[in-house]
Chains A and B, each alone.
Chain A
Amino acid sequence: MGLFDYFRSPPSKSAALAKERLQIIVAHERGSRRSSPDYLPALKKELLEVVRKYVPIDQSQVKVHLDREGGCEILELNITLPDEEQRLGPQR
């Protein structure tokens, strides 16, 4: 610290406190975000295989999404089936 820094007010700790609080809250929120979705890709893949036994669909037609509200988790599945003609076409 240079001589002339003595004439200034001491550095504030305000930003340091902000950083510490942020690190804690962000780590906490990331933790709860990450703690489940790792099985979602596998779930999606297996779902795709099961549905494909009956209807030809592609990957983009299966949507899997996990939401949290309060203490409750909601697994949202969305499977779009192709148009009637496309579905019957190749099998006849």
Chain B
Amino acid sequence: MATVIVVTSGKGGVGKTTTSASFATGLAQRGYRTVVIDFDVGLRNLDLIMGCERRVVYDFVNVINSEANLNQALIRDKRVDNLYILPASQTRDKEALTKEGVEKILNELKQSFDYVVCDSPAGIERGALMALYFADEALVVTNPEVSSVRDSDRILGILASRSRRAEQGDPPVKEHLVLARYAPDRAHRGDMLTVEDVLEILGIPLLGVIPESPAVLQSSNAGVPVILEDGSDAGAAYGDLVERFLGKDLPHRFTMSQKKGFLKRLFGGS
């Protein structure tokens, strides 16, 4: 039976879609049948990040409304086997996502996939609640910055009280912290919250630290999930994150300041 994973944050623009795209791609690369769903009704970004925007014919809401079936709406990724995208609708009608409709589609997807990744919209309104309601596990994406950490804490409260697991008294949604846009140098200087600070405040296990990286913008320009960019720091960090999710015990990279000290700069060496 498939595992449903929501990628959520509360605050907008912290890296949920970037994370959803790379996480789903990484799972599929490792042989798991994976589908990633864009819950951001009205905005629709995931297809752009995945580079399949011109292949969108039907969307999530069409399937809920039985205007298309799942096979018509699912887009098969051209680069990675086992990877499918279910795009969001551009409709303005936020009521289009009903709990019953979402449940029906998720149940159908769970028949044929190992992992269902739900890219949540920002906020704590309907769309975000729908994206997390059916989750078994959650990737809580946080930036090392006060409003993002606070919003993540609120999302953790919602996962613990308003998810289906909470409502039915099932074991709680398994929580993972993804600390994104981390700048080790700035944290080291005391200008930015450190990994340890954020962990201490949120108190959930750390799945990965994604460095602030120009590769993320470059890959989104090209419509390629950054995990596929060989040699990029953010891509490697997402690769490690996927391995950890699948149970490997890997040390966290990209958390140390890379700046060379004064001496090293003077005398070279690496």
Question: Complex Cα distance A16/B200, Å?
Answer: 13
Instruction: Evaluate contact between A12 and B153: CB separation under 8 angstroms.
Output: no
CB neighbours (8 Å) of B187 from chain A are 15
Count A interface residues, CB 8 Å: 26
Instruction: Evaluate contact between B190 and A15: CB separation under 8 angstroms.
Output: yes
CB neighbours (8 Å) of B146 from chain A are 18, 21-22
Q: Give min CB distance, B163 to chain A, whole Å.
A: 12
Question: Complex Cα distance A41/B169, Å?
Answer: 8
* CB-CB under 8 A for A65 and B162, given A12-B191, A30-B157: yes
Q: Which of A8, A21, A29, A37 contacts B153 (CB 8 A)?
A: A29
Mask of A1-34 contacts with B, CB within 8 angstroms, 1/0? 0001001110111111011011101100110010
Main SS of the interface on chain A?
A: helix
Q: Give min CB distance, B43 to chain A, whole Å.
A: 27
Does A60 sit within 8 A of B, measured CB to CB? Answer: yes
Instruction: Evaluate contact between B149 and A22: CB separation under 8 angstroms.
Output: yes
Q: Which of A14, A22, A37, A65 contacts B201 (CB 8 A)?
A: A22
Interface residues of B (CB under 8 A from A): 145-146, 149-150, 153-154, 157, 161-162, 167-169, 187, 189-194, 197, 200-201, 261-263
**Sample of 11 A–B contacts (CB below 8 Å):** A4-B262, A15-B190, A15-B194, A18-B146, A18-B193, A22-B201, A23-B201, A33-B161, A37-B161, A59-B169, A60-B168
Interface residues of A (CB under 8 A from B): 4, 7-9, 11-16, 18-19, 21-23, 25-26, 29-30, 33, 37, 41, 59-60, 63, 65
